[in-house]
Amino acid sequence: MAIEVKLDRILLERGMSLTELSEKVGVTIANLSILKTGKAKAIRFSTLEAICDVLECQPGDILVHDQEGD
């Protein structure tokens, strides 16, 4: 069981760079990069909400539960 992060796909669809997202959300590029690569162990709801607000998406668009992966 694993959580897959689709942030790179959403950024590509929105034509937005990680740097631009970082500036708009107020989270460092390093922290967003950790999230984007799937290496994050946790994410604050306030951060997830801010990302969703900027990208105009739902949390389920970014985080996907992969029942077969681990």
Question: What are the tens digits of pLDDT across the range 12-64?
Answer: 999 999 999 999 999 999 999 999 998 999 999 999 999 999 999 999 999 99
CATH class of the structural domain 2-66: mainly alpha
Question: In whole angstroms, how far apart are CA 34 and each of 41, 42, 68?
Answer: 9, 10, 22
Tell me what percent of the residues of the chain surpass a pLDDT of 90. Answer: 89
pLDDT at 1 over 70: no
HSE, CB side, 13 Å, CA atoms: give it for residue 29.
5
